[in-house]
């Protein structure tokens, strides 16, 4: 028998579940002194297609008393806590991890501890095919490699800004980063580090370069050891629209703390949006040029990014022309999706919060706007789309024996990002409606991330009784420290088996079990800033 549950513990008043694959029909919850304080029975076991297991559920939501406990059913779980602040440490670590992704500066021992290292990638970049050199130092490394890409970087920083805006109290504790002060929350200090890089990536005419990377991925070395020339790929309208949107958000968020920086963000937002208006034809990111093998981050459509940019500008300015433009772009996108001319319509229909499909961010800018006209047809449409998406995830969660919002076909590269994105959608639906079922489903996505899943791993490094120890993350592999950098979200199960280790060790496994805690398994165990960021946003919305 195997027992799966959130390995960190639970908050009083929230959903508390455990799952078992087979065996006993009853369970006990024992306190730190071995006394059984709750006894119960598992639900009727049912087959779970995603995991290939027959699974029973134990519900002990009634456990309210703060303390240390063990779940017993034939065998014992690792101990866990029930406490109001049980997730403070993991939440803080999730957003402090962005500090460890910093490029272009020393990571200092007083802040990074054993993970300190020297500055990297400080030399100017060269625009591909030209002699032009540009200072684009700073920002965050994207993932397990050292590339920096505006599109996924914008998703990451937008999630942090929305998280702060929707629950500033979640970020009241200092987490130990440079420039920390009582005047501005650490999460905004860290987000600014990426925003400053994005400002450097904007050209004088307002467009934004697609990416800054060397021509090829380096080996498993520390970032300061990568000495190859940094190359800029020319601008595209996807990156430009993304930057217009996030700078409009940043202008609002930073205004109470730093009016000068807020004004810089405002100018960048207007410059990017004006560029888009002057260039209505899409300039999409294409394939890597010959000789380059770093991340492509391609996109087949810029309508969703343009719709988000317009919606964010509307929220900033309250000028209805931007709302009208957002509605027009969104309608054009829907028409393209309906004719199957672009992307996967499912994620558009369910309010995607990805780095390439931004429908959910359009919704957030339109619906969660204190100045919005709730009778506006576009507002009503976005609100209805949000509820429909939440209902979709709720239905999928109910079909899953583990309560996760992924169908068997959804275990793709970075599946944990989708789990956390779905948790965000569910929590936003809860905020709008007050329906407890949405909150319970969102909490179960969080429980899944922290160990209540078919692999039994807590997918956040540095946490849990069964930890991810070997993520595909160059600094964690090359720094000589046994434990990986803490607070990083592993990509999670991927039935695509895209790397040699996954092909060898996951062949024949059910989708939700296709995970390997080994560094070479980049398709299941890489980390990325835009996988961490929705976990931060979900945490801030829930707790």
> Mind telling me the catalytic residues?
145, 472, 517, 526
**CA–CA dist 515, 31 (Å, integer):** 33
Return the axis-axis angle of helices 377-399 and 359-367, rounded to nearest 10°: 120
Token pair of 267 as six digits: 């100018």
**CA–CA dist 370, 165 (Å, integer):** 12
**CA–CA dist 226, 230 (Å, integer):** 10
Q: Does residue 54 sit in helix, strand or coil? A: strand
**CA–CA dist 208, 229 (Å, integer):** 20
- Cβ count within 10 A of residue 435: 16
**CA–CA dist 173, 58 (Å, integer):** 34
Please state, in angstroms and as integers, the Cα–Cα distance from residue 222 to each residue in 109, 138, 213, 521, following that order.
16, 16, 15, 19
- Cβ neighbors of 65 (< 8 A, separation 6 or more) are 12, 37, 82
Are the beta carbons of 312 and 161 closer than 8 angstroms?
no
Please state, in angstroms and as integers, the Cα–Cα distance from residue 116 to each residue in 101, 119, 137, 144, 223, following that order.
11, 10, 18, 17, 11
Closest CA to 128 of 243, 285, 271: 285
Q: Write out the H or E segment, with its range, that includes residue 67.
A: strand 67-73
Rg of the chain (C-alpha set) = 23
**In terms of C-beta density within 10 A (0-12 exposed, 13-18 middle, 19 or more buried), how is residue 198 classed?**
buried
Closest CA to 515 of 488, 494, 489: 494
Are the beta carbons of 236 and 283 closer than 8 angstroms?
yes
Return the axis-axis angle of helices 529-542 and 436-449, rounded to nearest 10°: 140
Are the beta carbons of 430 and 542 closer than 8 angstroms?
no
**CA–CA dist 394, 374 (Å, integer):** 25
């Amino acid at each position: 028998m195997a027992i799966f549950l959130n390995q960190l513990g639970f908050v009083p008043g929230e959903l508390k579940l455990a799952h078992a694959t087979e065996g006993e029909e009853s369970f006990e919850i024992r306190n730190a002194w071995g006394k059984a304080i709750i006894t119960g029975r598992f639900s009727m076991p049912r087959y779970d297609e995603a995991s290939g297991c027959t699974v029973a559920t134990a519900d002990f939501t009634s456990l309210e008393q703060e303390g240390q406990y063990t779940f017993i059913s034939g065998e014992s779980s690792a101990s866990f806590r029930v406490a109001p602040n049980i997730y403070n440490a993991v939440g803080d670590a999730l957003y402090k991890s962005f500090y460890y992704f910093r490029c272009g500066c020393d990571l200092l021992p007083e802040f990074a501890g054993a993970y300190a290292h020297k500055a990297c990638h400080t030399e100017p970049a060269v625009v591909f095919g030209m002699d032009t050199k540009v200072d684009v130092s700073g920002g965050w490394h994207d993932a397990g490699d050292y590339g920096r890409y505006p599109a996924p970087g914008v998703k990451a920083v937008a999630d942090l800004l929305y998280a702060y805006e929707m629950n500033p109290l979640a970020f009241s504790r200092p987490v130990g980063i440079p420039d920390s002060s009582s005047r501005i929350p650490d999460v905004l200090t860290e987000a600014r580090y990426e925003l400053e890089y994005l400002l450097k990536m904007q050209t004088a005419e307002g467009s934004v370069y697609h990416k800054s990377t060397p021509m090829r991925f380096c080996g498993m070395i520390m970032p300061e050891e990568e000495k190859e020339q940094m190359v800029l790929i020319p601008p595209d309208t996807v990156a430009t629209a993304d930057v217009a949107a996030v700078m409009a958000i940043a202008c609002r968020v930073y205004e109470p703390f730093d009016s000068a920086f807020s004004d810089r963000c405002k100018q960048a937002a207007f410059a990017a949006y004006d560029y888009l208006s002057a260039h209505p034809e899409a300039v999409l990111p294409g394939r890597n040029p010959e000789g380059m093998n770093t991340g492509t981050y391609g996109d087949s459509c810029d309508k969703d990014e343009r719709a988000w940019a317009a919606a964010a500008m509307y929220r900033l300015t309250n000028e209805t022309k931007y709302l009208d433009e957002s509605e027009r772009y969104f309608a054009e996108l829907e028409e393209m999706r309906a004719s199957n001319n672009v992307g996967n319509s499912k994620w558009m229909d369910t309010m995607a919060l990805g780095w390439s499909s931004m429908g959910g961010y359009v919704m957030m800018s339109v619906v969660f706007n204190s100045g919005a006209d709730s009778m506006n047809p576009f507002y009503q449409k976005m609100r209805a789309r949000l509820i429909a998406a939440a209902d979709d995830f709720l239905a999928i969660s109910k079909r899953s024996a583990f309560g996760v919002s992924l169908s068997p076909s959804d275990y793709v590269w970075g599946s944990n990002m989708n789990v956390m994105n779905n948790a965000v959608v569910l929590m936003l639906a809860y905020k709008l409606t007050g329906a407890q079922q949405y909150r319970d489903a969102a909490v179960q996505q969080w429980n899944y991330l922290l160990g209540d899943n078919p692999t039994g791993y807590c997918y956040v490094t540095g946490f849990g009784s069964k930890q991810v120890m070997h993520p595909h993350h160059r600094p964690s592999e090359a720094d000589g420290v046994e434990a990986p950098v803490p607070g990083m979200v592993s990509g999670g199960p991927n039935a695509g088996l895209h790397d040699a280790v996954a092909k060898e060790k996951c062949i024949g496994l059910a989708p939700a079990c296709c995970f390997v805690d080994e560094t070479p398994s980049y398709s299941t165990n890489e980390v990325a800033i835009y996988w961490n960021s929705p976990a931060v946003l979900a945490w801030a919305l829930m707790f």
